[in-house]
Each structure stands twice: as C-alpha cells, then as structure tokens.
Amino acid sequence: MADLLDGMLQAFWLLVTLDSDLLEITLRSLRVTLTALAIASAIALPMAALLVVRRFRMRRITIAVLNALMGLPPVVVGLIVYVFLSRAGPLGVMGLLFTPTAMIIAQVIIIVPLIASIAHQSLRELWSDYHDLLISMNASQSQRVKALLWDGRRALLTAALAGFGRAIGEVGAIMVVGGNIDHATRVLTTAIALETGKGDFAMALGLGFVLIAMAITVNLAIHWLGHTETEGRW
C-alpha cells in the first residue's frame, strides 16, 4: 500500500516537475505507438473491408486465421522480427535492430490482426445493411470498400483504439527488438520493467500511472475528435 501511495506521489512529482527523462520516454512511447497505429490501420482497415465485400476461395479460412492471430504472443513476434533484422538475418543490412523503427515493425505485426478482426466484425454488419443498395447502384468493388470505410468510420475508431491499447501496453516484443536502450529505444513499458527489476517500485508505479493517464488521454482525444457519442452521429 505504501508503494502504491509512493507511486502516485512519484507520478505526480514527475509530472509537476516535467522530468526530462519522463518527457523523453513518454514522447518516444507516443511516437512509436502512434506511428505503428497509423501504419497498421492503413493495412488492416482496407483489408477488413475487402474481406467483407469480396468473395474468394479460402475466405473463411483467411478470416479464421486473422482472428487466431489476434492472440499472437508478442515475445514470439519480437523474436521473429529480431531474427529478420539481426546482422545475420535477411534484413540485417538495413541496420534497424535496436531502433524505434524495429519497435514499430513489431507493433505493426502485433496489432494488424487485432484491428482487422474487430473492423471486420463491424463492417460485416454494415455490409449486410448496404449490400443490396450498393449492388443496385452498380458500385465497383473499390467504391464499396470506400463507402464501408467512410460510413463505418466511427466503429472503425473503436478497432483502432483497441490496437492503440494493445500497442501502448506492449513490452515483450519491443524489449527484444528495441533493447531498452536509454535515450534511444526506452519507452514507458520497458522503463517500468527496468525499474521493477531494479526494485524501485515507486518509480515503476509512477511511470505506470503516467502510462495509464496517457492512454486515457489519447482515447478521450480521439473520441472527441471523432465526435462519437454525439446525437445523430454514427
């Protein structure tokens, strides 16, 4: 209990004094996660819409695999990315290992199936409403995809936020590919792991509270920007 109280005080103090280390790793956390989220959304959302409107062989299996990949163990993803990016790996020449870019790659791999699966669920419902109308209007496949993505944007926001939640709290994969290097790849989650390992629970808790506050702030900001829960908007 004392640790918890100390943690809250630490968090408060870190925030009030605008601790430069905290600011640096918080901004890095945000940069890595938001970049991964943008890339993953650009991949996952059109993919989900295509899976809804397009009929092809193995479609059901593809959807099942996508759903199964939601539970990808982050450490394994980190390990695979590590192997690819390590000096002896196929992408080793790019020198990306232990950089924020490597962390972004790992996060993208982890959250693409999650965003795509959730988006697929909501777009499937929208498609069942729109199916006859869009076919009747002779809309092409890309026009159908665009209509679904635009009209379903508020539901898709939820999918993206789920991806953000998963990415911002991710520690296993980014620890492996980022290495938790001070002033280079250290982010909030890896810093928490480090402080816990050192036995500085108050600091770890302080960082934890900052992480939670940041996640809530970003969620609220996105909801506010997206005008969700406003009367007459979907």
Residues in contact with other proteins by CB under 8 A are: 126, 129-130, 132-133, 135-139, 143, 147, 151-152, 232-234
* Beta carbon of residue 127, minimum distance to other proteins (angstroms, whole number): 12
Looking at the Cβ atoms of 35 and 228, the one nearer to other proteins is 228
CB 161 to other proteins: min, Å: 19
- Cβ(82)–Cβ(97) below 8 Å: yes
Nearer to other proteins, 105 or 156 (CB): 156
State how far the alpha carbon of 69 is from the alpha carbons of 38, 40, 125, in Å: 19, 14, 22
Tokens 């650009």 belong to which residue? 42
The residue among 13 and 234 lying less far from other proteins, judged by its C-beta, is 234
> What CA dihedral angle connects 218, 122, 72 and 92, to 10 degrees?
-70
Least distance to other proteins from the beta carbon of 137, Å?
5
Minimum Å distance from CB 45 to other proteins? 16
Nearer to other proteins, 183 or 233 (CB): 233
* Cβ partners under 8 Å of residue 225, min gap 6: none
